[in-house]
Amino acid sequence: MPRVISDECIKCGACEGTCPVSAISEGADHYEVNADECIDCGACEGGCPVGAISEK
């Protein structure tokens, strides 16, 4: 199941660099995970300083 980024995201960009398949990009309100590209590895969760990333 792909990860999702909640509204708690502070748009720091830390998660974007942790994704091994570049499935994270900056959205209008917060960073977003492209569900079609996400391989569900969870690497981005550890890169988020505010814990805004979780399983859907």
* pLDDT value for 16: 97
Q: What are phi and psi of 18, to 5 degrees?
A: -85, -15
Q: Which one-letter amino acid corresponds to residue 19?
A: C
Give the span between the Cα atoms of 37 and 10, in whole angstroms. 22
Q: 3-state secondary structure string, 6-30?
A: CCCCCCCCCCHHHCCCCCEEECCCC
CATH, range 3-55: 3.30.70.20
* pLDDT value for 1: 84
Q: Residue 54's CB: how many other CB atoms inside 10 A?
A: 13
1-56 pLDDT per residue, tens: 899 999 999 999 999 999 999 999 999 999 999 999 999 999 999 999 999 999 97
